[in-house]
């Protein structure tokens, strides 16, 4: 049997990549051979973190083979996982998302906690297993928590995330405020991406009762700057809706400095969005003050109104 592999979701973000690397380190120290892999290209924020910490990016795979033993981190929904995941053997899951459309044929280790980041859970696993955290692994977990909680400003942040950030920053020898802001900013340089790349950077497909939706999100330091590309972004969203039979596509531009978002919304079910946020779309767009979290402030709202 070939070695076990660990990976996060498609359109990988910093938590997904760092969690895969960290989980393979932890499992290695516990005597299991597990290789970290990824399902897509790195975003600029993750690239910045890996380069800063001098860590190699995981190998890319496009699908898993039948019977392959896998560990999932930072996701569980099959629609966000590797192609052919239905035919893999899922041995473990470590996650911080809702559990949806998930089933296995055999028993497994499943650890989910309602915290801000998978790496917060992984950090606890090091402690529970009495495994020492290296400077590099601390840097990776720190990066992931900063990314998922927008430097502890997102409503998804819990006390446990904050505590982990402070402890990990010490082990990693990093001033997390300075490092964190630089890392987040590195992710907002989106000028050389095509509209198609933009909507795919951090895109999640999700079921809203019987409807098929996609919610994509990009971070920016200036919403207006991104809105200058509205027309081409909309063009690409419409094409995606047609090609993938989507009922709703929400593209969220999040201002990481002021913690607000602007949404561009298309599809035949835009009423779900309007009802959920009690807002009339103007020119297919709406400003969402104080909204930064897809998981906590957007997905549940759409879910309840679908
Ligand atoms: Mn993620
Ligand atoms: Mn995450």
Task: Please choose, from the candidates 265, 266, 257, 270, the residue with its C-alpha nearest in 3D space to the C-alpha of residue 287.
Answer: 265
pLDDT at 238: 98
Task: Please choose, from the candidates 224, 216, 225, the residue with its C-alpha nearest in 3D space to the C-alpha of residue 190.
Answer: 225
Tokens 């759409």 found at? 302
Superfamily of domain 195-304: DHHA2 domain (3.10.310.20)
pLDDT at 224: 94
pLDDT at 2: 67
The whole model's pTM is what?
0.90
Task: Please choose, from the candidates 161, 201, 156, 152, the residue with its C-alpha nearest in 3D space to the C-alpha of residue 295.
Answer: 156
Among the bound ligands, name the one nearest to the CA of residue 161: 2
Kindly report, residue by residue over 142-188, the tens digit of the pLDDT: 999 999 999 999 999 999 999 999 999 999 999 999 999 999 999 99
Task: Please choose, from the candidates 98, 10, 75, 15, the residue with its C-alpha nearest in 3D space to the C-alpha of residue 90.
Answer: 75
Among the bound ligands, name the one nearest to the CA of residue 119: 2
The structural domains of the chain, with segments of one domain joined by +, span 4-186, 195-304
Distance 194 CA to ligand 2 centre (A): 25
For residue 38, the cross-strand partners are 60
Distance 280 CA to ligand 2 centre (A): 31
Distance 204 CA to ligand 1 centre (A): 9
Distance 72 CA to ligand 1 centre (A): 12
Distance 108 CA to ligand 1 centre (A): 21
Among the bound ligands, name the one nearest to the CA of residue 156: 2
Tokens, residue 116: 């801000």
Distance 75 CA to ligand 1 centre (A): 7
Q: Which residues surround ligand 2, an ion (CB under 5 A)?
A: 15, 74, 118, 148
Q: Which residues surround ligand 1, an ion (CB under 5 A)?
A: 13, 15-16, 74
Distance 7 CA to ligand 1 centre (A): 11
Tokens, residue 268: 């035949």
pLDDT at 191: 86
Contact 218, 196 (CB under 8 A): no
CATH of domain 4-186: 3.90.1640.10
Q: Edge-to-edge, what's the strand order for the sheet holding 69-73?
A: 59-60, 34-38, 4-7, 69-73, 89-95, 109-112
What's the half-sphere exposure (Cβ side, CA atoms, 13 Å) at 234? 13
Task: Please choose, from the candidates 40, 93, 84, the residue with its C-alpha nearest in 3D space to the C-alpha of residue 200.
Answer: 40
pLDDT in tens, the chain (306 residues): 468 999 999 999 999 999 999 999 999 999 999 999 999 999 999 999 999 999 999 999 999 999 999 999 999 999 999 999 999 999 999 999 999 889 999 999 999 999 999 999 999 999 999 999 999 999 999 999 999 999 999 999 999 999 999 999 999 999 999 999 999 999 998 988 999 999 999 999 988 999 999 999 999 989 999 999 999 999 999 999 999 999 999 999 999 989 999 999 999 999 999 999 999 999 999 999 999 999 999 999 999 999
Other CB atoms within 10 Å distance of the CB of residue 70:
21
Contact 277, 247 (CB under 8 A): no
Phi, psi of 8 (to 5 degrees): -100, -160
Among the bound ligands, name the one nearest to the CA of residue 112: 2
Q: What's the CA gap between 297 and 301, in Å, rounded?
A: 7
Distance 219 CA to ligand 1 centre (A): 14
Collapsing DSSP to helix, strand or coil, 223 comes out as helix
Distance 256 CA to ligand 1 centre (A): 17
């Amino acid at each position: 049997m070939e070695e076990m592999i660990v990976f996060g979701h498609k359109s990988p973000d910093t938590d997904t990549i760092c969690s895969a690397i960290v989980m393979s380190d932890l499992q290695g120290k516990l005597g299991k051979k597990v290789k970290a892999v990824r399902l897509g290209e790195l975003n600029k924020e993750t690239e910045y973190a890996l380069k800063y910490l001098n860590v190699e990016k995981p190998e890319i795979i496009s699908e898993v083979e039948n019977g392959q033993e896998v560990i999932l981190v930072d996701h569980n929904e099959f629609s966000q996982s590797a192609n052919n995941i239905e035919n893999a053997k899922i041995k473990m899951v470590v996650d911080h998302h809702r559990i949806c459309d998930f089933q296995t044929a055999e028993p497994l280790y499943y650890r989910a906690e309602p915290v801000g980041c998978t790496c917060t859970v992984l950090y606890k696993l090091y402690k529970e297993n009495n495994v020492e955290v290296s400077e590099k692994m601390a840097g990776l977990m720190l990066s992931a928590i900063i990314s998922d909680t927008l430097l502890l400003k997102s409503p998804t942040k819990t006390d446990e995330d904050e505590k982990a950030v402070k402890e990990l920053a010490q082990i990693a020898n990093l001033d997390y405020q300075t490092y964190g802001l630089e890392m987040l900013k590195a992710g907002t340089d989106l000028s050389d991406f095509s509209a198609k790349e933009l909507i795919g950077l951090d895109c999640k497909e999700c079921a809203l009762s019987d409807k098929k939706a996609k919610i994509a999100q990009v971070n920016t330091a200036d919403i207006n700057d991104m809105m200058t590309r509205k027309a081409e972004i909309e063009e690409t969203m419409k094409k995606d809706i047609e090609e993938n039979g989507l009922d709703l596509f929400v593209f969220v531009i999040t201002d990481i400095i002021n913690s607000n978002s602007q949404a561009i919304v298309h599809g035949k079910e835009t009423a779900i969005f309007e009802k959920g946020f009690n807002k009339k779309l103007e020119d297919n767009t709406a400003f969402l003050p104080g909204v930064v979290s897809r998981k906590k402030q957007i997905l549940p709202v759409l879910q309840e109104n679908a």
